[in-house]
A = this chain, B = another copy of it.
Amino acid sequence: MSKISDIAKRAKAASRKMALLTDDARKNALKKAAFALRQSDQAIIAANKKDVASARKKKYAPALIDRLTLNEKRVDDMARALEEIAEQKDPVGEVVEQWTTKDGILIKKVRVPLGVVGMIYESRPNVTAESAALCFKAANAVILRGGSEAIQSNTILAKIFSEAVAESGAPKDAVLLITDTDRKNIYELARQDGLVDLIIARGSEEMVRDIKKQGTVPVLGHGKGVCHVYVDRSAHPRMAEDIAFNSKVQRPGVCNAMETLIVHKAIAEELLPVLGQRYKNAGVELRADDGARKYIPSAKRASEKDWPMEYLDLILSVKVVDSVDQAIDHINKYGSGHTDVIVSQDASSVERFVQGVDSAAVFHNVSTRMHDGGVFGLGAEIGISTNKLHARGTMGARDLTTTKYVAEGSGQIRK
């Protein structure tokens, strides 16, 4: 295992070659990688079995083991994500803006690759293939550093991917995996400024904070999700019920699951008894304010500590409000700026909510769970950013680029 700085140097050299690859070449390479994944599915599953066995031995939680496990369907899903990414519009070379100055200089703001992306993540091995593909689509080199629990799976996935793209003329160091899972390597990677242009960190809030603190390379962290659904007085009650249920229950352990339900008082009596029962049947623990407990008397009393909580579990806080403005204030005060939803049939409430809520994604009549690169049609996502700089919300290939001013003149000088 070579040193992290050596890996970063190899990636940097590869990134210069990546920048010269045409969109067609990148597209074909990604399709070859998808094909290779399908062809090697048995070998991938065999390697994955070792990770799963070792996780079982270490008594990992069933949810984690589920995230770790690959089968034929999951390998096929990965391959399909690669094909979708391949077919996307090339972000590189896009002219974002173009104008001519008073002096007659033609200025273009052109989208170009970032260079080298360092990708730090945990558990799910599909992230290996999908992150590599998104970075590759945007003509970057990538250094992957997955969790130790998935090391066998990640190693074979990275190998198949990088061999397949190399056959299509891509540099062989376009995708590199750090196989030494010592945690200090993460910090070392985050200190390679000049070689690594961006670190994307998917993991706990604490991990992201540590990387930012220890490193010098800019970090985009996968954000905490305290997501809300607000049911307006004008909401279609059945739609509200389905969105509120789906947002909490469909997969409670992820960042785009709802943590707090906010209901307008005028619809609370109609909605809450039915919905409360449905949550109860699904095993959801409810923590409600007094306004909501009127209609769900069995709910626990919510405390001030509940409102900013990211439960990541079958627990939900519930609040009744007098107005859309009160809902907006609550969300801006306690939310994490991730994904917040209004269910409403009233255009002026929707406009107020969309404008007033300061979050990466504001949805109207859609489940919070739909904030996802796959659902959005990005093929996959490299993360969901709750930062306001560079990229906000689900991040795809386009978010892995920067821009460059290209100016064309005829001898203009400064007077």
Which residues of A are at the interface with B, using a C-beta cutoff of 8 A?
Answer: 19-20, 99, 101-103, 105, 107, 109, 114-115, 197-198, 218, 220, 236, 239, 242-243, 246-247, 250-251, 354-355, 358-367, 369-372, 375-377, 387-390, 392-394, 402-414
Q: Which 6 A-B residue pairings sit nearest by Cβ, starting from the closest?
A: A366-B409, A246-B413, A369-B414, A361-B405, A388-B402, A390-B390
Q: Is the CB of A102 within 8 A of B377?
A: yes
Q: Is the CB of A405 within 8 A of B362?
A: yes
Residues of chain B within 8 A of A369, CB atoms compared: 413-414
* Additional A-B contact list (9), CB under 8 Å, known A220-B389, A390-B390: A19-B355, A99-B377, A198-B389, A243-B411, A251-B414, A361-B405, A370-B413, A389-B390, A389-B402
Q: Tell me the nearest residue of chain B to A393, going by C-beta.
A: B405
Residues of chain B within 8 A of A389, CB atoms compared: 198, 218, 220, 389-390, 402
Residues of chain B within 8 A of A390, CB atoms compared: 389-390
Q: Tell me how far the C-beta of A170 lies from the nearest C-beta in chain B, rounded to whole angstroms.
A: 17
Q: Is the CB of B366 within 8 A of A405?
A: no
Residues of chain B within 8 A of A366, CB atoms compared: 105, 407-409, 411-413
Q: Is the CB of B102 within 8 A of A365?
A: no
Residues of chain B within 8 A of A363, CB atoms compared: 406-407, 409
DSSP class of A's interface residues: helix, strand, loop or mixed?
mixed
Q: Is the CB of A355 within 8 A of B20?
A: yes
Q: Is the CB of A413 within 8 A of B362?
A: no
Query: Which of B101, B364, B392 makes the CB contact (< 8 A) with A402?
Result: B392
Q: Is the CB of A388 within 8 A of B198?
A: yes
**Copies per complex of this chain:** 2
Q: Tell me the nearest residue of chain B to A218, going by C-beta.
A: B389
Query: Which of B365, B371, B411 makes the CB contact (< 8 A) with A408?
Result: B365
Known: A366-B412, A367-B413, A414-B250. A406 touches B243 (CB 8 A): no
Docked Cα-Cα span, A357 to B168, in Å, equals: 25
Residues of chain B within 8 A of A354, CB atoms compared: 406
Docked Cα-Cα span, A403 to B386, in Å, equals: 11
Known: A19-B355, A377-B99, A414-B250. A365 touches B405 (CB 8 A): no
Known: A354-B406, A377-B99. A250 touches B413 (CB 8 A): yes
Known: A376-B107, A404-B360. A367 touches B218 (CB 8 A): no
Residues of chain B within 8 A of A362, CB atoms compared: 404-407
Q: Is the CB of B412 within 8 A of A367?
A: yes
Docked Cα-Cα span, A246 to B103, in Å, equals: 15
Residues of chain B within 8 A of A377, CB atoms compared: 99, 101-102
Residues of chain B within 8 A of A109, CB atoms compared: 393
Q: Is the CB of A101 within 8 A of B376?
A: yes
Docked Cα-Cα span, A250 to B377, in Å, equals: 50
Docked Cα-Cα span, A333 to B413, in Å, equals: 26
Known: A370-B103, A407-B361. A413 touches B242 (CB 8 A): yes
Residues of chain B within 8 A of A394, CB atoms compared: 405
Known: A250-B413, A377-B101, A388-B198. A408 touches B364 (CB 8 A): yes
